[in-house]
């Protein structure tokens, strides 16, 4: 099987259809991309990791990564595939004391776990040819961990400089948002904090 290495570029938000997001994966070394449609909760857990938000309790994918470590197993590869109905799925290759196993997973869960375990993500040439597109500078911007956009669904005040809070006040607000499990707001505040001069 001809496998192609992918990197996670970021998440886009559908301004027309509420609650719809797309993960954007790009073939390493090229400008060919694959969009994978995901829901709000999946976007939120991936964005938390991209923004380095530390929730007070482990999210499901954090817990899964901890279980793998506790069992002495590692997620060695994620392979994105496309089902006959057009939905993306993934194979998780897990190596452990009992050997190797392949586990079927949703593509969003696989990617959320991969970014928590520094696991490489792949797809096949066939999937890339069928679902991929060539990115150009005219395409819509993608929200990434380094961009100045807000977390999924949030309205960013960082770009306008409208938030007068100090670093300490923002840190406190981030902690309160995390404790309330409002990770979208915590990610937005973290982005605002990062934009302040050191």
The CATH number assigned to the domain holding 66 equals: 3.10.690.10
pTM of the model: 0.70
187 in a structural domain:
no
Where are the alpha helices (H) located in the chain, listed in sequence order?
A: 40-50, 60-70, 107-117, 125-131, 167-179, 183-195
- 194 occurs within a structural domain: no
Chain centre distance of CA 167: 26
Structural domain total, the chain: 1
Evaluate whether residue 75 is within a structural domain.
yes
Q: What is the per-residue pLDDT across 100-137, written as a single tens digit (0 to 9) for each?
A: 999 999 999 999 999 999 999 999 999 999 998 888 76
pLDDT-above-90 percentage for the chain: 43
pLDDT at res. 188: 75
Would you say residue 114 lies in a domain?
yes
Please give the pLDDT value at position 148: 33
Does residue 56 lie in a domain region?
yes
CA 152 to CA 13: how far, in whole Å? 7
Domain of residue 38 covers 3-147
Tell whether the model's pLDDT for residue 183 goes beyond 90: no
Mean pLDDT throughout 67-71? 96
43 occurs within a structural domain = yes
Residue 166 counted as domain residue: no
Q: Per-residue confidence at 17, pLDDT binned at 50, 70, 90?
A: low
CA distance 126 to 111: 20
Nearest residue to 110 (alpha-carbon basis) of 2, 6, 19: 6
> Binning pLDDT at 50, 70 and 90, where does residue 143 land?
very low
107 within some domain: yes
Burial string for 180-194 (b: 16+ CB within 10 Å, else e) reads eeebbbbbbbbbbbe
């Amino acid at each position: 099987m001809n496998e192609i290495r992918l990197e996670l570029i970021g998440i886009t938000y559908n301004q027309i259809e509420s609650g719809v997001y797309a993960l954007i994966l790009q073939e390493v070394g090229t400008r060919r991309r694959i969009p994978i449609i995901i829901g709000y909760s999946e976007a939120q857990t991936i964005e938390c990791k991209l923004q380095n938000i530390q929730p007070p309790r482990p999210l499901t994918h954090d817990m899964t990564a901890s279980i793998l470590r506790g069992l002495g197993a590692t997620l060695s590869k994620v392979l994105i595939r496309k089902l006959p109905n057009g939905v993306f799925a993934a194979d998780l290759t897990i190596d452990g004391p009992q050997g190797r196993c392949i586990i079927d997973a949703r593509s969003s869960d696989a990617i959320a776990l991969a970014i928590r375990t520094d696991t490489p993500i792949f797809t096949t040439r066939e999937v890339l040819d069928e679902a991929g597109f060539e990115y150009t500078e005219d395409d819509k911007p993608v929200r990434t961990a380094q961009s100045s956009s807000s977390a999924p669904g949030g309205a960013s005040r960082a770009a306008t400089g409208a938030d007068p809070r100090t670093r300490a006040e923002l840190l406190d607000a981030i902690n309160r948002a995390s404790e309330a499990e409002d990770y979208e707001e915590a990610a937005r505040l973290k982005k605002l904090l990062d934009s302040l001069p050191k």
